[in-house]
Structure 1
Amino acid sequence: MENIKKLPSLTLGESIKSVLGNLTNFKGRARRSELWWYWLAYFIVMMVLAFVLGAFPVVLSVIAFLLQLTTWSVTVRRLHDRGHSGWWVAASIIIGLISNIYIMQSGYYEAMSTINPNIEEATEVLRGPVFPTLGFLSFIVNITIFVFCVRDGKPEDNKYGPSPKYVPNELADE
């Protein structure tokens, strides 16, 4: 470990540039600073876009999906930095999709979108076994992803590539 040097954290600008330069790259590794700075920028951009494009939901949805793709890729690369599989992100996406399909097909929206919403019918959908189970699974998977992403990356190379934070001394001086 003595012939390895730790690079300084990325700045907000460096992080955004790195993530946007790896838009759909789900291979390799990403540093904590890259992930968290990008998530902050993503949150701010999405808030502004929601305010500005709120009257154009289709345009907002397309832009939001493209930006969400970048958050998935950097999160997968962050998991790789710890030596974990990107399938955790896929599991989170799949659980979210199943939850949305279930809610749309359950009659919840119809019950809640009338002039006099039928609260009993809507809450019955939420009280059944499916929605709480999906919520619990989503919670477990997303907390796991969060914990993996918070922890420091492995300094040694792993099956996903070399460390983006810890480099050999001879490379750090270049």
Structure 2
Amino acid sequence: MDFMTAVRTCLSKYVDFSGRARRSEYWYFALFSFLVGIVTNILDTVIGTDYDGATSGGLINTVVSLALFLPSLAVGVRRLHDIDKSGWWILIGIIPIVGWILIIVWFCTDSKADNKYGPNPKTGPAGYEGGYPPPPPPAYGTGQYGG
């Protein structure tokens, strides 16, 4: 999954906590959120909406961070589903250092086989070897079927 597809997917599924998300989807969205945070901090400084040197960001950064909170939470839960863990495990991130390390390790873990959260997003349903989703059938007259 490329950068733009991952961002589009995460923003279109901004409150969809079901299903699975590949590593690339999660990490590209994390990169997007990081870059947006840098841009909004610069905008706050230029426009003057920062809070006199506060480290938490200004008005624009706060609004954009709140807008990206649910999509980030949803893609994190879907990422945990991909490694066959309940989405509630995301709350372990509340525990400083140990929880953060565990979450990072889980988010870096490769996809598991088909599980109760759906088919593996990398390979599709079990037994399908052609990638996921399956390619569309060829159009009539392309020569593949002799037409």
Residue 74 of structure 2 aligns with an amino acid whose one-letter code is S
Listed one character per residue, the Cα deviations across residues 92-112 of structure 1 (whole Å, up to 9, x for unaligned) are 2xx3xxxxxxxxxxxxxxxxx
Of 1, 10, 17 in structure 2, the residue corresponding to residue 19 of structure 1 is 10
Gaps of 5+ in 1: 1-9, 96-136
- Other-structure match for 1:46: 37
Residue 67 of structure 1 aligns with an amino acid whose one-letter code is L
Listed one character per residue, the Cα deviations across residues 34-78 of structure 1 (whole Å, up to 9, x for unaligned) are 011111111011110111024333443122112122111111100
More helix by share: 1
TM-score by length of 2: 0.74
Of 99, 104, 113 in structure 2, the residue corresponding to residue 155 of structure 1 is 113
Alignment partners' CA distance in 1, 2:60 and 2:34: 17
- Other-structure match for 2:121: 164
State the structure with bigger RCO (CA 8 A, min sep 6), 1 or 2.
Answer: 1
Contact 1:29 1:78 in 2 (8 A): yes
Q: Percent identity?
A: 34
Contact 1:32 1:152 in 2 (8 A): yes
> How many residues get paired?
121
Paired residue secondary structure (2:69)? helix
Shift of 1:15: 0.6
Alignment partners' CA distance in 2, 1:142 and 1:172: 36
TM-score by length of 1: 0.63
Shift of 1:89: 1.8
Alignment partners' CA distance in 2, 1:138 and 1:85: 20
- Other-structure match for 2:103: 145
Listed one character per residue, the Cα deviations across residues 152-173 of structure 1 (whole Å, up to 9, x for unaligned) are 11132x1211221112246523
Alignment partners' CA distance in 1, 2:44 and 2:120: 39
Q: Deviation above 6 Å: which 4+ runs of structure 1?
A: none
CA RMSD of aligned residues (A): 1.7
Contact 2:43 2:60 in 1 (8 A): no
Residue 73 of structure 1 aligns with an amino acid whose one-letter code is A
